[in-house]
Chain A
């Protein structure tokens, strides 16, 4: 059997990779993909701990997290399309009009 900690370590590693992606990448779509990686890592934690405690609540929460992630991806992509139409580029450095 695999102990719970293995799953938590894996999920921590995935979350860190997602965070690194959000910081490092200069392409808005890849930033959104990294956010999806982070949400998946959180889902894995929920399911693992739910299984550890023998309750099905972990899976119920992941159901809601997936739904929220879908809604957020849809709105995020619509924003990206609108931004791309405006500036013809997807680099975050082009949208610095509100910077000090």
Chain B
């Protein structure tokens, strides 16, 4: 049952990501990425991480993607144009040759590295803890990693200010 769910969610995630990268309409790309995030949230639930799954939906699919959607709609992003004709022979049309080769190399290298490691089976029974995982995550973030938490808050503040300043219209 778990294996079936893994294959279903994994297939949805991979197909949606391929379509995001492969198809032309930016609006459809954004919606397909949301589908991919939903599939990943399902995988997190399979991995006994319900808090991460829900946070993924709230933060990624519910906030970041809405940001992308707003920008795509406000800029009325067109379908992409073909590459200008004076690119070098190494890159090929739209840089495809080198880009495709590099990505395939990366994928092959990752799979090779994984093949050298033995099969790892998950330990059973970590879901019967008496303390809920949310409480554990909370105590971890606020006690052991408190500095990272505070630094991330400052990062978000800086990003907010930066985004507002960068996207402002010039009144001159």
Contact = CB atoms under 8 A, between A and B. Distances in A.
**Chains A and B directly touch (beta carbon < 8 Å):** yes
Given A5-B114, A51-B49, A75-B159, A66 B60 contact: yes
Given A4-B122, A33-B20, A34-B20, A63 B55 contact: yes
A89 B83 CA distance: 13
Given A26-B83, A66-B56, A72 B107 contact: no
B60 A27 contact: no
A44 B44 CA distance: 8
B106 A16 contact: yes
16 contacts: A2-B2, A16-B107, A29-B68, A29-B77, A36-B64, A37-B21, A44-B43, A51-B48, A59-B133, A60-B141, A63-B141, A66-B59, A70-B59, A73-B64, A74-B67, A91-B81
User: For chain B, what secondary structure do more than half of its interface residues adopt (helix, strand, loop), or is it mixed?
Assistant: helix
Interface in A1-32: 1-10, 12-21, 23-27, 29-30, 32
Q: What is the predominant secondary structure among interface residues of chain A facing chain B?
A: helix
Interface residues of B, number: 88
Contacts, number: 236
A30 B26 contact: yes
